[in-house]
Structure 1
Amino acid sequence: MISALNHATESVHGLRRLALMIDSVSDAIVTIDSHGIIEYANRGAQELFGYRLEELLGRNVSMLMPQPDGNRHDGYIASYLKTGQSRVMNHRRSVNGLRKDGSLVPLDLTLGQMLEDGEKKFTAVMRDVTEQRRLQQLAAETERALQNAKNRADEANRSKSIFLATMSHEIRTPMNGVLGSLELLGLTELTASQHETVTMAAQSGRELLRLLDDILDFSKIEAGRLELRHERASMREHIIDKVLATHAPLASKKGIELRSRVDPATAQRFCTDPLRLRQILHNFVSNAVKFTLAGSIELSLDVIRTKPGAQVLRFSVRDTGIGISAASQARLFRPFVQADGDTTRRFGGTGLGLAICLGLAESMGGTIAMESVPGLGTTMSLELSLPTLREVEVNNCRAQLRNAPSINDPQVQHRAAPPVTTAASSGTLVLVVDDHATNRNVLVRQLASLGYAAESAINGVDALEKLATRRYSLLISDCQMPEMDGYTLARTIRDDEWRRGISRLPIIAFTANAFASDATRALVAGMDDYLSKPTTIASLSSLLERYLPLPHTPETNMSKSSEQLLALRDSVIDETHLAQIVGDDLAERAALLDDFKESCDIDAKALEAAYQSGELHTFMEIAHRICGASKMVGASGLAAACRAIESCGRERLALSDDSGHADALGTSTREAYRRFQAELDAFDNYLKQGTACLNNASPAT
């Protein structure tokens, strides 16, 4: 009896201790019966809702709920008791509680059940999350503010990029007139003094243009919009030799030995952006020549290590110049900074060069280092990893801006232009389209100095009227013009060619726009190549040799049909690439092209079916297959058109959540397909004319 009493006493003490523990919990705990009547509420519940215990016991728990939940609660309990199904039982849920003063409090609610004397009862554990919600709201507002700030910064960067591109266009347009006119003036008979004046003026113009390019490059790097254009390149031929050739005259004039060294372990070909790589090395060598008064400069290339499909290279430029102090070295990679004020006075410059080089190197995945000792010289090095040719297929080979040679380039063949009527009858008449009178006049005169007669039009509408005469064999068009711009003009011409089944007219974009995306837009619109303003006679001559070559010697006995076919060949087939595959065997050459044409026709039908059905993924896959085969046989026009389809398709996929829909192709992809059709027609036309004329003319002509 005493033992049982002791046990009961201990149980009472245990229950009291448990009640005290539950009362000490900061969370609110409430127990209700199967009718929703409150049977227990701990101290936390009383404090949370503002009621005394006696005000809660025996009352319906709905008093702690806002409407409409309060009126529905009894129905929730009845439904659960009947079906056993509940969305809240044993799960945490966010709800609102109703305090005695009528205010709402956000809660985390967990609901459990128990069985007592055969009756189901429920216990709710509730936690006030007011502070947590406040912090979450504050975090959300902060995130929104940061996102808005980022959006404003991105918009500012976009606005700055658009402003710079526009200013570049506006400045390059008059610079085209200035430099073009000076170049033409240099071709006339001048006294020594006059020639020196023209040369200095042209040099000043090029310096101004270089400064403009530096500012634009730096802004693109800052905005993260620098666009790399990868090509096949030989380090010796396309990089080292070209950089040294540029600086050799000045180095020789100063009596400085300029030499190079290339590690024999260097691979033959790499995939890189040769223009940007040369830009970095040009800066290194230019600074070395500028700051070296006597001695030597060496441009070296070392293979740091070779790995599968790539090599890690280090380019170094070592000079015996004035050197740079350690304190100044730390500042030189900041924009608009030079070693000291005396350096600026003595040697000039903007202080942008190394900042741009650092941005270019980082964009290419490389690093730049400097070692220098005052009075002994400086070594600048660039280290980066580049894919070797065997392991990479370069898909981003687009029309590139051409480097501008100096005035009176000795490799350019100058000749008198024939009368317009003669040029029209011989298939060499050029149409120039530009809304700027100076640009039109300069370009027409530059063409005349190379032996080409030309006429001009002021915009796309004017050009279409002139083109209707079918007198022109090449079109050079500005891209931004009133009434009808160059892109619309090109698309209109390509549509007309495809609809009427007529031969393809070579179209060259002639623009001052500064971004690589402008070149892509020109190609997608149906243009064949891209010429940057301001241009030089040498750059123009190089382009004309590809699309509308003139006979190099008057003794040629080639027939007119052979000339036309060879000109067509140059714009359709990369003969150098094809010769590497089949050599000079014309029969093997014809067989290869026939086999390609047969498989291409099958793929072209499948491509058309995908185009008609709007199956974008299939459309891009077939274009990729045709692109690969085209590159194998040197069908460069077809390959470029297929790359344009893939590029536009990828952009469309990025913008569309439902790329399988019938409208998934988009305008730019359809335009790229029309260009493909035009390229395919040009290839067909090339094959239909046969190889008879080519058999009578050397393939190397």
Structure 2
Amino acid sequence: MPAAITSTAAHEHAVSQRADGLFHQNQSDIYLRTDRLFAGLMVLQWIAGIAAAAWISPNTWAGAYSETHLHVWSAIFLGGLITLFPVCLVLTRPGSTLTRHVIAISQMLTSALFIHLSGGRIEAHFHVFGSLAFLACYRDWRVLVSATLVVAADHFVRGIYFPQSVFGVLSASPWRSAEHAAWVMFENIFLTISIRQSVQEMKAMSRQRAKLEVSNNRLSETKERYIAIFENVVDAIITISLTGTIEEFNSAAEKMFGYSAEEVLGKNVSLLMPSPFREEHDGYLARYLKTGKKKIIGFGREAVGTRKDGTTIPVNIAVSEVILQMTGTSESRRLYTGIIRDLSEVKENIELKRAKAELVDAKEAADVANQAKSEFLANMSHEIRTPMTAILGFTDILVDNVTGPENIAAARTVKENGEYLIELINDILDLSKIEAGKFDVEQIDCSPHEIIANVFSLMKVRAAAKGLPLEVRIDGPIPETICTDPTRLRQILINLLGNAIKFTETGSVELVTRLLNGASGEPELQFNVIDTGIGISDDKIETLFQPFTQADSSTTRQFGGTGLGLTICKRMAELLGGRVSVSSKIGEGSTFSVTVSTGPLESVRLIHDVVPSADESVVQAMNEQTETLLHKCRVLLVEDGPSNQRLISYILNKAGAEVTVAENGQVAIDKVHAEGIAGAAYDVILMDMQMPILDGYDATRQLRQEGFTGTIIALTAHAMVEDRQKCFGAGCDDFTSKPIDRCKLIAMIKTHFKGEDATPTGEQPAAVLFSELTDDEDMLEIVEMFVDEMPDKIAAIEAAIAENDLATLGVLVHRMKGAAGGYGFPTVTEAARLADASVKAGEEWATIVSQARAVVDLCRRIRSTAPAV
């Protein structure tokens, strides 16, 4: 309601403003026209006055001198003065108030002149009354006031001083002037009434015209707005008559149905409906005309429309009824306007949402299945790795202790097949993690020379067993360090070299490394594995990188393998920002190329050809030194498997440790309590994470809650990243997976063990103090350079500790983790890895400092033995 009141007030204001404008415009036009009328009239009067003066005066010509009568001169000069001034105002200031009043005064003076020229004849006085009537044409009663005052003054003055001029007598009563003025006033009264009525009529006409104009303007605006909405609305709008004839068809309707407006106007709306909607519409229209019952009007409903090309579209239609009253009659006309919306996109969106919902459900089901698969693989891994720990461990012991070629060969066969089984498990787990998108890679600084040396050391024995030479060549200088995942890169190279050795009977296998500029201009390191094996046909190359696929099905029977290796290599290389490609010829051999990004090389040295070699004596020396590494280290082994208890106890006892066994977590807690009361706490607890009664996770959490601060190393057959994080979350300090690697386990315990060293001061074990690359003459110079730089690295770490600079300390230990392994110091790498992990996990400052000092201590010991490097 307030909106309606506001709209009405605005309408009235607009009408009033326009009416005032029109009225003033009409007044101005009247003033201008009347000014021009009087200008012409006054000129004619001037001429007529001169003529009258000449005609009336009998003595215009006097004797032979032909003198002109004074009246003529009066008519000429006085009449000219009275006429010319108002005429000039009309020309210069038409329509002004001054011009009107000057004309009124001049007109009355002209009347006075005519009366004077006529000698005061009564007929001349009618000129006054006529002039007043003419002045009323201005429709301004104020003009009459000016004129009346002039007439009254003229009659009064001349009536006293010159009555013959105005009344034609020598003397006249003063009442005669009053009488004459009364008649003038009498006329003015009627003229004023007439003027006021005329002005009122002008105002009424102006208001009527203003109403019409405002209404027309609003109607025009409404029409334009309607047309704009009608033509630009997204929905189709169709107006039909009572008989169904189309009378309006907007642009949206043209687009929707494919018809132009000209094609459908005047035709029945059923043209746009398919059967049976057409018959339904006709029936409904007939029933509505008969009964007046509404079924569609005022309600929305879904229907189907037919396009010009014959296709149908789903629509929603809402119909409204409009009754138009015919002007001047009592008849009315009914129109029906339908607003039609194309539901095609809505239907598609509904279908899309349904498909998305199904996809989400399918994804959730796939995630559940994937989780179930991951849990299954993890459990299978646990079930297989647990017995494999004992098998491989005791086989390793047998290899070192049995005598006789046949016994040694048998033991080694068991070990090799066990290692192959573990490799197969790892491949399946890797592929599962890659497919699930949970395969993690890291980007750290590492030495490509060290990676090549390690791979060469591992694969040389396998190649030698087949009588094949394994050659390593570096083609041109390569970076001293690159930024990649060394573990994954090593895994790729081992797999490709393993395949090359497996499928090559004669000839050789070669690993060639070179530095390249990638397509994007970024540096890349390329590793080419070249063999002289059986080769691969072109039609089989495309299938090589599919899971569980080999070039020939007979290959599996002849050489073994699952066909997972190349799939894993390809996907790992892609995760490292690289790629794997292959070229091959049947009977001549194959070349597998791995290209990985090196990362920025601005401050990295390029080192020329360095060919690594391996000497089993180094490994043997390291194994011999393990017997005293854990001297006086008290270890609590928490393991439920009897075979693993015996194996791990044997390994640790051989390394000098004192081992106590607990078969589950509850027994372990009881033993920790008992030893704590006796004042002989354990240095390290090896905690199997899956045990009966109380598993390793709960046992670790309970020990931490009760204040045990010693080292707890998780021992589990699970190999997933999530399992490692779960162990750390329970409170473990480190993590190792089954089957147990003897050297790795001893090195890990040694890293955490803070007791006395088994070796006298100044004599450190080779596994800790000497580089694995000591016997490689080509690498010796590089290793010495690394050892020479250790004092600077030690000083930088100690400075970061002194300044409590966590960020710098994290960078330093992270770099040491990548660099130390590249120069053959795995124990330093392991110690730095622990410190780096603590920094990233947000451990307490004291813990990080302790682990960083362990890195510094190892570096100092290595530096102290520099002459022996």
What's the TM-score, normalizing by structure 1? 0.65
Distance 1:343 1:381, change over 3 A: same
Matched residue, 2:623: 412
Distance in 2 (alpha carbons) for counterparts of 1:638 and 1:253: 40
Q: Does residue 1:256 correspond to 2:486, yes or no?
A: no
Change in 2 beyond 3 A, CA 1:256/1:178: closer
From 55, 66, 69, the counterpart of 2:288: 55
Name 1:507's counterpart in structure 2: 712
> What residue is the counterpart of 1:457 in the other structure?
662
Q: Please state how far the C-alpha of 1:473 moved relative to its aligned partner.
A: 0.8
CA contact under 8 A between 2:321 and 2:335: conserved in structure 1? yes
- 2:247 corresponds in structure 1 to 22
SS in 1 for 2:433: helix
> For residue 569 of structure 2, what is the aligned residue in structure 1?
357
Aligned counterparts of 1:205 and 1:694: Cα–Cα separation in 2: 34
Q: Deviations over 1:6-54 (max 9, x none)?
A: xxxxxxxxxxx997553678979xxxxxxxxxxxx99479968764279
Higher Rg of the two aligned structures: 2
Superposition map of 1:36-435 within 5 A: 43=269, 51-52=284-285, 55=288, 64-65=297-298, 107=316, 125-127=338-340, 134-238=347-451, 240-305=452-517, 311-388=523-600, 409-413=620-624, 427-435=632-640
Supply the distance in 1 between the matched residues of 2:858 and 2:462 (Cα, whole angstroms).
46
Judging changes above 3 Å, is the alpha-carbon distance between structure 1 residues 108 and 445 closer, same or farther for their aligned structure 2 residues?
Answer: farther
Aligned pair 1:467/2:672, yes or no?
Answer: yes
Q: What are the Cα deviations for residues 299-357 of structure 1, in whole angstroms up to 9, with x where unaligned?
A: 11222216999522221111222222223333333333333344334323232222222
Per-residue deviation at 1:460? 2.5
Report what 2:840 is aligned to. 643
Closer/same/farther in 2, CA of residues 548 and 186 from structure 1, 3 Å limit: farther
Match of 1:81 in 2: none
Q: 1:85-115 CA distances to partner (integer Å, 9 max, x unpaired)?
A: xxxxxxxxxx65899xxxxx97366999999
Q: 1:535 to 1:686 in 2, by over 3 A?
A: closer
- CA 1:591/1:274 → structure 2, altered by over 3 Å: closer, same or farther? closer
Secondary structure of residue in 1 paired with 2:247: helix
How many angstroms does 1:452 deviate by? 1.3
Distance (whole Å) between structure 2 residues aligned to residue 318 and residue 390 of structure 1: 31
**Unpaired segments ≥5 residues, structure 1:** 1-16, 29-40, 67-94, 100-104, 393-404, 568-575, 601-623, 646-675
Task: Say if 1:522 and 1:530, in contact at 8 Å, map to a contact too.
Answer: yes
For the structure 1 residues 484 and 353, does the alpha-carbon distance in structure 2 shift closer, same or farther, using more than 3 Å as the test? same
Verify the 8 A CA contact 2:512 2:528 in the aligned structure 1: yes
Contact 2:302 2:317 in 1 (8 A): no
User: Which AA in structure 1 matches 2:700?
Assistant: A
* Equivalent residue, structure 2, for 1:663: none
Measure how far apart 1:168 and its partner are. Answer: 0.7
Q: SS of the counterpart of 1:286?
A: helix
Q: Kindly tell me the number of residue pairs found equivalent between the two proteins.
A: 543
Q: Is the 8 A contact 1:303 1:312 kept in 2?
A: yes
Verify the 8 A CA contact 1:183 1:407 in the aligned structure 2.
Answer: no
Q: Mark the CA change 1:275 to 1:631 in structure 2 (over 3 Å): closer, same or farther.
A: closer
Quote the offset at 1:164 in angstroms.
0.9
Among 643, 647, 660, the alignment partner of 1:438 is: 643
Deviations 1:247-297 (A, max 9, x none): 212323444332222244432222222222122211221122222233232
Q: What is the CA RMSD across the aligned residues, in angstroms?
A: 5.0
2:762 and 2:477 map into 1 onto residues whose CA distance is 47
- Provide closer, same or farther for how the CA distance between residues 406 and 496 of structure 1 changes in structure 2, counting only shifts above 3 A: farther
Residue 159 of structure 2 corresponds to which residue in structure 1?
Answer: none
Correspondence 1:536 to 2:745:
no
Cα displacement (A) at 1:173: 0.7
User: Normalised by the size of structure 2, how large is the TM-score?
Assistant: 0.53
* Greater per-residue helix proportion: 2
Separation in 2 of the partners of 1:214 and 1:686?
Answer: 34
Q: 1:27·1:126 contact (CA, 8 Å) conserved in 2?
A: no
Q: Distance in 2 between matches of 1:431 and 1:225?
A: 34
The 3 A distance-change label for structure 1 pair 265 and 18 is: farther
Q: Which amino acid aligns with 1:450?
A: A
Which whole-Å deviations, capped at 9, do the CAs of 1:376-396 have from their partners, x for residues lacking one? Answer: 22111122324247799xxxx
Name the residue aligned to 2:846. Answer: 680
Structure 2: how far apart are the matches of 1:114 and 1:264? Answer: 94
Does 2:690 correspond to 1:480?
yes
Distance 1:112 1:305, change over 3 A: farther
Question: Deviations 1:352-380 (Å, cap 9, x if unpaired)?
Answer: 22222223223333322111112222111
Structure 2: how far apart are the matches of 1:629 and 1:115? Answer: 89
Q: What displacement does 1:631 show?
A: 5.8
Q: Give the SS at the match of 1:323.
A: coil
- Report the Cα distance in structure 2 between the residues aligned to 1:97 and 1:351, rounded to whole angstroms: 58
The runs of 5 or more residues in structure 2 that have no matched partner are 1-238, 255-266, 305-313, 328-333, 605-615, 770-784, 818-831
Q: Distance in 2 between matches of 1:53 and 1:176?
A: 90
Check whether the contact 1:372–1:379 (CA below 8 A) recurs between aligned residues. yes
SS at match of 1:530: strand
| In 2, Cα distance between equivalents of 1:440 and 1:113 | 95
Gap change, CA 1:556 and 1:370, over 3 Å in 2: same
- Alpha-carbon distance, 1:456 to partner: 1.5
SS for the counterpart of 2:489 is helix
AA at the equivalent of 1:595: E
Distance 1:122 1:435 in 2: 91
Q: Secondary structure at the match of 2:401?
A: coil
Which one has more relative contact order, counting CA pairs under 8 Å at least 6 apart? Answer: 1
- 1:593 corresponds in structure 2 to 801
Amino acid paired to 1:361: A
| Equivalent-residue separation in structure 1 for 2:747 and 2:371 (angstroms) | 35
Residue pair 1:427, 1:473 contacting (<8 A) in 2 also: no
Matches of 1:18 and 1:222 in 2, distance apart? 62
Query: Any idea what the Cα deviations from partners look like across 1:201-247, whole Å, max 9, x if unmatched?
Result: 11121112222222222333333332324433211212x22222112
Distance 1:409 1:173, change over 3 A: farther
Secondary structure, aligned partner of 2:439:
coil
C-alpha distance in 2, partners of 1:242/1:526?
33
Report what 1:447 is aligned to.
652
Task: Provide the rounded CA distance (Å) in 1 between the counterparts of 2:808 and 2:757.
Answer: 38
Partners of 1:183 and 1:536 within 8 A in 2 = no
CA distance, structure 2, for counterparts of residue 360 and residue 412 of structure 1:
32
Change (3 A) 1:377 1:306: closer
Pair 1:455–1:204, CA change in 2 (3 A):
same
Question: Cα–Cα, structure 1 residues 339 and 695, in superposed 2: closer, same or farther, change >3 Å?
Answer: closer
Letter of the structure 2 residue corresponding to residue 594 of structure 1: A
User: What is the CA–CA distance in structure 1 between the aligned matches of 2:755 and 2:521, rounded to whole Å?
Assistant: 42
The reply to whether residue 583 of structure 1 matches residue 792 of structure 2 is yes
Change (3 A) 1:585 1:225: closer
Q: Secondary structure at the match of 2:735?
A: strand
In the alignment, what sits opposite 1:661? none
Report the CA distance between 1:160 and its aligned residue. Answer: 1.2
Classify 1:147/1:112 alpha carbon distance in 2 versus 1 (closer, same or farther; 3 Å): farther
Q: Does structure 2 conserve the Cα–Cα contact (< 8 Å) formed by 1:369 and 1:380?
A: yes
